[in-house]
Amino acid sequence: MKPELDEIDNKVLALLMDDARLPVTTIAKQVGVARTTVIARIAALEKRGVIAGYGVKLNQKVIQPAVRAYVGLSIEARYAAALIRYLQHLPETETLCAVSGAIDYMLTLRCDTTDTLDRLLDHIGAMDGVRQTSTSVILSKRIDRAAL
Protein backbone atom coordinates (compact mmCIF):
# COMPACT_ATOMS: atom_id res chain seq x y z
CA MET A 1 0.00 0.00 0.00
CA LYS A 2 1.41 3.36 -1.03
CA PRO A 3 1.46 5.92 1.79
CA GLU A 4 -0.59 9.07 1.27
CA LEU A 5 1.52 12.20 1.13
CA ASP A 6 0.10 15.69 1.16
CA GLU A 7 1.63 18.86 -0.28
CA ILE A 8 3.58 19.63 2.91
CA ASP A 9 5.05 16.10 3.04
CA ASN A 10 6.09 16.36 -0.61
CA LYS A 11 7.74 19.75 -0.09
CA VAL A 12 9.61 18.53 3.01
CA LEU A 13 10.78 15.41 1.18
CA ALA A 14 11.93 17.41 -1.86
CA LEU A 15 14.02 19.69 0.36
CA LEU A 16 15.51 16.78 2.30
CA MET A 17 16.34 14.87 -0.88
CA ASP A 18 18.18 17.93 -2.12
CA ASP A 19 20.06 18.38 1.18
CA ALA A 20 19.37 15.98 4.06
CA ARG A 21 21.33 18.24 6.42
CA LEU A 22 19.10 21.24 5.81
CA PRO A 23 18.16 22.81 9.17
CA VAL A 24 14.56 22.29 10.28
CA THR A 25 14.11 26.06 10.60
CA THR A 26 15.12 26.54 6.94
CA ILE A 27 12.70 23.81 5.83
CA ALA A 28 9.93 25.40 7.90
CA LYS A 29 10.51 28.81 6.30
CA GLN A 30 10.58 27.39 2.76
CA VAL A 31 7.46 25.26 3.29
CA GLY A 32 5.61 27.98 5.22
CA VAL A 33 4.88 26.01 8.38
CA ALA A 34 6.08 25.99 11.98
CA ARG A 35 9.37 24.36 12.92
CA THR A 36 7.54 21.91 15.21
CA THR A 37 5.31 20.91 12.27
CA VAL A 38 8.39 20.03 10.21
CA ILE A 39 9.85 18.01 13.10
CA ALA A 40 6.58 16.11 13.49
CA ARG A 41 6.25 15.53 9.72
CA ILE A 42 9.79 14.18 9.42
CA ALA A 43 9.26 11.87 12.41
CA ALA A 44 6.00 10.60 10.90
CA LEU A 45 7.63 10.05 7.50
CA GLU A 46 10.42 8.07 9.17
CA LYS A 47 7.95 6.02 11.24
CA ARG A 48 5.83 5.19 8.15
CA GLY A 49 8.94 4.08 6.29
CA VAL A 50 8.73 6.83 3.66
CA ILE A 51 12.15 8.04 4.78
CA ALA A 52 14.24 4.88 4.90
CA GLY A 53 17.45 6.51 6.07
CA TYR A 54 20.07 9.16 5.54
CA GLY A 55 23.52 8.89 4.05
CA VAL A 56 26.42 10.54 2.35
CA LYS A 57 26.42 11.33 -1.35
CA LEU A 58 29.92 11.69 -2.75
CA ASN A 59 30.78 14.56 -5.06
CA GLN A 60 31.35 12.74 -8.35
CA LYS A 61 33.51 15.63 -9.60
CA VAL A 62 35.93 15.15 -6.71
CA ILE A 63 35.79 11.40 -6.10
CA GLN A 64 34.77 9.57 -9.22
CA PRO A 65 35.74 6.13 -10.39
CA ALA A 66 37.55 6.29 -13.71
CA VAL A 67 34.84 4.33 -15.54
CA ARG A 68 31.12 3.83 -15.04
CA ALA A 69 28.98 1.92 -17.51
CA TYR A 70 25.43 0.81 -18.15
CA VAL A 71 25.24 -2.83 -19.21
CA GLY A 72 22.10 -4.32 -20.72
CA LEU A 73 21.85 -8.06 -20.06
CA SER A 74 19.74 -10.61 -21.91
CA ILE A 75 19.71 -13.89 -20.05
CA GLU A 76 18.00 -17.25 -19.91
CA ALA A 77 15.47 -17.10 -17.06
CA ARG A 78 16.71 -20.26 -15.32
CA TYR A 79 20.12 -18.60 -14.76
CA ALA A 80 18.77 -15.34 -13.31
CA ALA A 81 19.17 -16.28 -9.63
CA ALA A 82 22.83 -17.28 -10.07
CA LEU A 83 23.60 -14.11 -12.01
CA ILE A 84 21.94 -11.92 -9.38
CA ARG A 85 23.89 -13.68 -6.59
CA TYR A 86 27.15 -13.13 -8.47
CA LEU A 87 26.43 -9.45 -9.14
CA GLN A 88 25.27 -8.92 -5.52
CA HIS A 89 28.74 -9.84 -4.27
CA LEU A 90 30.64 -7.96 -6.98
CA PRO A 91 32.00 -4.67 -5.53
CA GLU A 92 31.81 -3.00 -8.96
CA THR A 93 28.02 -3.46 -9.10
CA GLU A 94 26.30 -0.15 -8.42
CA THR A 95 22.72 -1.06 -9.42
CA LEU A 96 20.87 -3.94 -11.04
CA CYS A 97 17.33 -3.41 -12.30
CA ALA A 98 14.92 -5.84 -13.92
CA VAL A 99 13.51 -4.04 -16.95
CA SER A 100 10.93 -4.62 -19.65
CA GLY A 101 11.76 -4.78 -23.34
CA ALA A 102 14.49 -6.43 -25.37
CA ILE A 103 16.83 -6.84 -22.39
CA ASP A 104 16.12 -8.46 -19.03
CA TYR A 105 18.36 -6.47 -16.69
CA MET A 106 20.11 -3.09 -16.66
CA LEU A 107 23.33 -3.15 -14.67
CA THR A 108 25.43 -0.16 -13.64
CA LEU A 109 29.09 -0.91 -13.05
CA ARG A 110 31.80 1.35 -11.64
CA CYS A 111 35.40 0.34 -12.20
CA ASP A 112 38.76 1.94 -11.51
CA THR A 113 40.08 1.36 -15.04
CA THR A 114 38.86 0.46 -18.51
CA ASP A 115 40.92 -2.74 -18.25
CA THR A 116 38.97 -3.76 -15.15
CA LEU A 117 35.68 -2.99 -16.93
CA ASP A 118 36.80 -4.98 -19.99
CA ARG A 119 37.75 -8.06 -17.93
CA LEU A 120 34.53 -7.84 -15.93
CA LEU A 121 32.39 -7.59 -19.07
CA ASP A 122 34.20 -10.60 -20.56
CA HIS A 123 33.53 -12.58 -17.38
CA ILE A 124 29.86 -11.59 -17.21
CA GLY A 125 29.37 -12.30 -20.91
CA ALA A 126 30.86 -15.79 -20.51
CA MET A 127 28.59 -16.75 -17.59
CA ASP A 128 26.09 -19.56 -18.07
CA GLY A 129 22.80 -18.25 -19.39
CA VAL A 130 24.01 -14.84 -20.54
CA ARG A 131 22.81 -14.53 -24.13
CA GLN A 132 23.92 -10.98 -24.85
CA THR A 133 25.34 -7.86 -23.25
CA SER A 134 25.27 -4.29 -24.49
CA THR A 135 27.49 -1.72 -22.80
CA SER A 136 27.44 2.08 -22.80
CA VAL A 137 30.21 3.91 -20.95
CA ILE A 138 28.94 6.89 -18.95
CA LEU A 139 30.77 10.04 -20.01
CA SER A 140 29.13 12.48 -17.59
CA LYS A 141 26.01 13.02 -15.52
CA ARG A 142 24.04 16.01 -16.74
CA ILE A 143 21.18 15.62 -14.26
CA ASP A 144 21.35 13.59 -11.04
CA ARG A 145 18.22 13.46 -8.89
CA ALA A 146 18.99 10.05 -7.47
CA ALA A 147 18.14 9.68 -3.81
CA LEU A 148 20.66 8.12 -1.47
C-alpha 109/C-alpha 88 separation (Å) is: 12
**Amino acid (one-letter) located at 2:** K
Q: What is the mean pLDDT of residues 125-144?
A: 92
With CA atoms as reference, report the closest residue to 94 among 51, 139, 138.
Answer: 138
Q: How far apart are alpha carbons 124 and 136 in whole angstroms?
A: 15
pLDDT digit string (tens) for 25-64? 999 999 999 999 999 999 999 999 999 988 777 666 676 6
pTM value? 0.63
Predicted confidence (pLDDT) per residue in 84-110, tens digit: 999 999 999 999 999 999 999 999 999
Q: Which domains does the chain have, with CATH numbers?
A: 7-47 (1.10.10.10), 67-137 (3.30.70.920)
| DSSP code of residue 128 | T
